[in-house]
Structure 1
Amino acid sequence: MTVTGGRHTIEVDEFLPHPAARVWEALINPTELAQWFMANDFRPKIGHDFTLDTARWGTTHCTVVAIEPERLLRYTWRNGPLDTVVTWKLVPEGSGTRLLLEHHGFDLGDPVQRRAFDGMNGGWRSLVLPGLARHLRRGEA
């Protein structure tokens, strides 16, 4: 966890034994994204507004703010009191990819945002990234 400007960041570092091009496709293809992450209307275009169906937590409204193919994807994440930013960084490493996830902008002084931070910190680590890894493995079979 880092703190910038009084806001806290969830940081997750995961090695995936797949080339960056394959990991990238899983991050930007809306059909694939729905299989391992959430139902969505994502398009890989800067300025595109999209939603993620976060089930019991409602709809998350997002806007793509940065894209560097096979290297970086960044979008805003707005749901209730949260107005945060999610960044996916892909770094080729041998025949695989180091995936660095940052979810920035949590005010831990706010009890609602603290609960969201704690829940999402665990969720990114124990559900989302393992789900991506499983999805990529299934694609190999």
Structure 2
Amino acid sequence: MKKTLFTGTICCVLILAAIVLAGCTENTSSSKAEPTIPASTVTRVQTLFANSTSNGTTLTVPPSGRVIVRLNENPTTGFSWNATVSKGLSIVSDSFYPPNSTIIGAGGYHEWTLVPESAGTYTFNAVYIRPWEGQSPTSETFSLIIEATPV
């Protein structure tokens, strides 16, 4: 019994020593620091946001800027936004986001990311319609003027 206890104690001490020594090792190989990027080469893209309260307004976008337009949409009713942009304004993203709800028929939102190709004045227009009915005088509309400033 004493021999078994002594052997077990020695095994535990050796395992514990191996664990402690494994944590105390040092990497002696030369490690290279992460390269730093000079602040002058970092380009920040300014993003402006627009929603239904921005209807009919003008947004001024700096060089390399973008505009994200987010409007409520409920395709379960048959309605969806039909968006158009003027020449020189690109839609780089056009997505519908479903509701964060389990309620049947709950609406989500539609989001467009717009990027002007150069300095100038551009328009974003959208109409909320059932595509098979087309636009009527009572259709909900959204318009936004985007002024891209020169570099």
Q: Of the two, which has the highest radius of gyration?
A: 2
TM-score, reference length from structure 2: 0.32
TM-score of the superposition, structure 1-length normalised?
0.34
Structure with a larger share of its residues in helix: 1
